[in-house]
Amino acid sequence: MSTSNINNENYINRELSWIDFNKRVLELAIEEETPLLEKIKFSSIFSNNLDEFFMVRVASLKSQVDGGISKKSQDGRSAEEQLDAIRNYLDPILDKQQSKTKYYIQDEFKKNNLFILEYKELNEKQKVWIDNYFTNAIFPILTPLAVDPAHPFPFISNLSLNLAAIIFDRETEKEQFTRIKIPGESISRFISIPIELDDNQSAKYTGIAIEQIIANNLIMLFPGMEVKAYSFFRVTRDADLELRDLEADDLMSALEEGLRKRRKGGEVVRLEVSSNTPEIILDLLQEGMHVEKENLYQIEGLLALDELIELTAINLPKLKFKEHQGITHNQLKNSQLRETEDLDIRNKNNFKSIFSIIRRNDLLVHHPYNLFSTSVEEFINQAAEDSQVMGIKMTLYRISKDSLIIDALIRAAEKGKQVMALVELKARFDEDNNIQWAKQLEQSGVHVVYGVIGLKTHTKIALVIRKEKNRLRSYFHIGTGNYNSKTSKTYTDLGLLSCQPELGQDLIELFNYLTGFAKQQSYRKLLVAPVTLRHGIEKLIKREIKHAKTGLPAKIIAKMNSLVDPEIIKLLYEASREGVQIELIIRGMCCLYPQKKGLSENIKVKSIIGRFLEHSRIFWFNNDGNAEVFIGSADWMRRNLDRRVEAVTPIEDNKIKKEIKHLLDSYIEESKDCWIMQSDGSYIKNEILNDKKRYLQEKIIKLYKKEAN
């Protein structure tokens, strides 16, 4: 697809836009009103996000440089220029994260009687306990690896925390380099010290980082030697899997082999070291792993801050957000099968099956405000138990470790129902989990498929076929988020529960496309990528342009995770110039400049970053007062529009359309968790002095609770 007529200066670099998003996540860790343990959580999320960014995006740019690829980004930068820009932008952000995290742990924690101590701060009782703990629980599993002519530099696994040391042999008077991997899977990063050993009787928690324990007991690993110096380090490797679907006879086997390679790791794309690392250790690390200066990050403070998430398990509710418990959708309150297992009791208690409720009207569920367990999980659970249900078909992209939906699909298959699950094995960093689920489903009699060759199946759809009065009726769920009970509590997502015949038929044909050799090129109502979604979205935008040209009110409101696609951006610029009013609510990357004179004066962009991850995708088009509304799984990115299977559904129920419009209006209003994008691409936090203007997500929580009462 040609983008030659898109000016470089009108397109924001996607990598820098992503860093901007992650910077906004970090701001939640810095914001004064964020509770202390939530600050730690958001700092951890920032680091976890950044790890993935290096493993995939930075690794890709480095591969381009190493491969001599001269292709420039949409904003006109070479791979080298992008890597330089990433480094320059990241350095001050990382410094800020470290200084704030250090302040929280050293000062704010202590004010709340929480103590993360260094070894030198331990009292005598604590030292005795820690040293015994080291001897019994850590020492036996450590493996010092020497580096000398007989021992080559050891392989350093991806994202592992390590200790490097210089050991002096008094007999030979020689220094030797050694590496010790800090155990990360078998032992917690932070070791809790019994409170009774603390001299401070008001202490709520006392702990110490495991690397501190190991570093101060090194002499036990090297008896008769002298520890001259030590430091901590961590590497990030290229972890993107390159799978040639067309060449793989068995996709699962190919993936398992790819995962084995990933665990070993590709090229080092980042080396993090403690800022006080001695030059001799630094030189040996860089030489041993072939790390260039531009890939070296010297960190003032703890490494591997993603592991701070462990500290959020400390049971101090006052230092966290007020616990949120979603509510059951009003129309589903009498439809909970698990609450009344006996059929006779259910009938006496006015139990209504979820299918009878959906037959009356469409339902919109909004997580985490509406419970996932009493809506989507209940839909699949009742489908498994209902004797009139003939078949169930689902796409599974990211699945929780303890999935009740998987349990329901297995039960349904065991009862003789036709059950099909499309398990997307290529869901990045969830591949291993999905492979295990696919094997378990297959062993239980579920028909498991892996999607269309060359495309990742990202759509979130579930179809239930039920026999009613000598006919088959299709019930379905089309969502914006994964069938994952864990993320449903922290991601905001929408889902449509319906039995509309035309949409049901579209889904039947879409599943046939996913499981067989059907080459479906058109659908009645669904917008499906990669066949009709791009054209459908462009057509809807062009219709608003046409209305604006004829003097009619024209408006677009779109909420998504990312806006990156050059063709869609070009069309939005055109719409703005013609007078279409455009409101964009974009959580993450946005490569479009808003409110730029002569280009995008009618476009406003906001980003909502709050306690929940904004994940729903909503597209609203005014259509001369007869609004058309869509929800689905796709962002406006090339990969979603052209290289994935996605499904976006129209919302035709007027009551639900009004509900969604009210929700969008709430997002557009000023709130404390809103960032406003400026015409130069930067973001400014919406600082509101009026106390009546509160955090949007908290406002929505209260609205749902009010409706439930």
pLDDT in tens, 587-612: 999 999 999 999 999 999 999 999 99
Residue 80 has pLDDT above 50, yes or no: yes
Return d(Cα 620, Cα 664) in angstroms, integer: 9
Domain boundaries, the chain: 8-319, 331-522, 528-708
Does the annotation count 329 as an active-site position? no
Give the residue ranges of the annotated binding site: 49, 398, 428, 491, 587, 615
Return d(Cα 52, Cα 56) in angstroms, integer: 6
DSSP H or E stretch at residue 475? strand 471-479
Read off the pLDDT of residues 549-558 as tens digits, 9 standing for 90 and up.
Answer: 999 999 999 9
Give the residue ranges of the annotated binding site for ATP: 49, 491, 587, 615
Q: Which of 458, 535, 547, 662 is catalytic?
A: 458
Contact 51, 22 (CB under 8 A): no
* Res 441: pLDDT: 82
Which of 272, 302, 282 lies closest to 229, judged by CA? Answer: 282
**Pairing between strand 114-117 and 205-209?**
parallel
Read off the pLDDT of residues 423-481 as tens digits, 9 standing for 90 and up.
Answer: 887 655 556 666 776 787 888 888 888 877 788 889 999 999 999 988 999 999 999 99
Return d(Cα 585, Cα 558) in angstroms, integer: 6
Return d(Cα 634, Cα 616) in angstroms, integer: 9
The span from the first CA to the last CA of the chain, in angstroms, equals: 52
Give the residue ranges of the annotated binding site for Mg(2+): 398, 428
Residue 547 has pLDDT above 70, yes or no: yes
Read off the pLDDT of residues 489-526 as tens digits, 9 standing for 90 and up.
Answer: 999 999 999 999 999 999 999 999 888 766 778 899 99
May I ask the CATH architecture of the domain 8-319?
A: 2-Layer Sandwich (3.30)
* Res 257: pLDDT: 55
Which of 138, 191, 132 lies closest to 163, judged by CA? Answer: 138
Amino acid identity at 335: S
> pTM score, two decimals?
0.91
Contact 584, 568 (CB under 8 A): no
Whether 331-522 and 528-708 share one fold: the answer is yes
Residues in contact with 535: Cβ distance below 8 Å, sequence separation at least 6, in sequence order: none
Return d(Cα 408, Cα 412) in angstroms, integer: 6
Tokens of 243: 């799978």
Read off the pLDDT of residues 81-120 as tens digits, 9 standing for 90 and up.
Answer: 999 999 999 999 999 999 999 999 999 999 999 999 999 9
Read off the pLDDT of residues 156-173 as tens digits, 9 standing for 90 and up.
Answer: 989 999 999 999 988 888
Residue 259 has pLDDT above 70, yes or no: no
User: CA–CA distance from 177 to each of 73, 149, 275, 290, 548 (Å)?
Assistant: 42, 11, 19, 17, 71
* Res 7: pLDDT: 75
Return d(Cα 635, Cα 619) in angstroms, integer: 10
User: 331-522 has which CATH code?
Assistant: 3.30.870.10
Contact 288, 271 (CB under 8 A): no
**Pairing between strand 613-614 and 603-608?**
unpaired
Contact 569, 11 (CB under 8 A): yes
Where residue 41 falls among pLDDT bands split at 50, 70, 90? very high
Contact 7, 589 (CB under 8 A): no
Contact 240, 55 (CB under 8 A): yes
3 state SS of 560: strand
Burial degree of 185 (CB within 10 A; 0-12, 13-18, 19+): exposed
* Mean pLDDT rounded to a whole number for the chain: 89
User: 528-708 has which CATH code?
Assistant: 3.30.870.10
